[in-house]
Structure 1
Amino acid sequence: MAGNERCVRIRWLDKTYRRSHPAGISSKQYHCACFFDGRIVGFGRALSDGVFNAAIYDVVVHRDFQKRGIGKAIVEDLLAQLRHVSCVHLIATTGNEPFYQQAGFKKIKTAMGRYLSRDLAREYLEGGENA
């Protein structure tokens, strides 16, 4: 049984999705970069299946250009590019959660992660030292 048939059987793919994406799920990349005097001072990127899920990665602004609305503009641009996607996830850098909350993000009840780096596991996973 093909992957799409399995998904249809468990009602994951509805008729609208099958019509718009007959070959199945594909991935798309989204980018936003901000420039000053010809150099990049901020950027962000996201990956998505184009319909159901997306994840924003690497919203980064050079320290000399922070607190000027550049990060906000990057997140707003990425969200505009992802406006048709049902669910957008991200992992905030420790301490930056309020920034993303102002953009409308909320904590996820069932989110899980896995890190190969013990340091990152301690920082981001529940259980910290025991992760």
Structure 2
Amino acid sequence: MKATLSQDHFDNGRSPEQLKTSFTNSYRTCIAYAGDRIIGTARVLSDGVCNAYIVDVWTFTPYRHQGIASTMMEILLGELQGQHVCLFTDDAIKFYKKIGFSEKETCLELVVGKWLNN
């Protein structure tokens, strides 16, 4: 994962061990593969009841615009019924709006289903 993230200029400086810890300690994760190569990631930090934060959404550049990020988001959001979901991005606001997020003062947000109905 570290090598591909670095190659694709999506490396925020975490070591391979720190990446493993980040993904292991997440509420939910989604990792897309092409063969044995990681080509997409997304993960959720959540209290499991009413608040969630989506981070590390990435698709390897040669695989973009093929529905990989949309599928990962669909999988993760399906696990967040009744939760208020927040995420921050500067690059993909149109993408997130297309899948239901609204641009608010502090973040892009979405309530999955009915809030606190999980």
Q: Do they fold alike, i.e. is TM over 0.5?
A: yes
Residue in 1 that maps onto 2:54 = 56
| Greater percentage in strand | 2
Task: Provide Cα deviations, 1:102-128, integer angstroms capped at 9, x if missing partner.
Answer: 11000123x27xxxxxxxxxxxxxxxx
Q: Percentage identity across aligned positions?
A: 33
The 8 Å contact of residues 41 and 57 in structure 2, kept in 1 or not, is answered as yes
What is the rounded CA distance, in whole Å, between the counterparts of 1:99 and 1:57 in structure 2? 15
2:76 maps to amino acid: L
SS at match of 2:103: coil
The alignment's C-alpha RMSD in Å is: 1.7
For structure 1, list consecutive stretches of 5 or more residues without a partner in the other structure.
Answer: 1-26, 113-131
What is the rounded CA distance, in whole Å, between the counterparts of 2:69 and 2:82 in structure 1? 21
1:88 maps to amino acid: V
Task: Call closer, same or farther: CA 1:68–1:60 in 2, change over 3 Å.
Answer: same
What is the rounded CA distance, in whole Å, between the counterparts of 2:63 and 2:103 in structure 1? 27
Structure with the bigger RCO (C-alpha within 8 Å, sep 6+) is: 2
Give the greater-gyration-radius structure (CA): 1
Q: Which runs of 4+ in 1 moved over 4 A?
A: none
Q: Structure 2 length as normaliser, TM-score?
A: 0.65
Residue in 2 that maps onto 1:108 = 104
Aligned length, in residue pairs? 83
For structure 2, list consecutive stretches of 5 or more residues without a partner in the other structure.
Answer: 1-24, 108-118
Q: Shift in Å at residue 100 of structure 1?
A: 0.2
1:25-40 equivalences under 5 Å are: 29-40=27-38
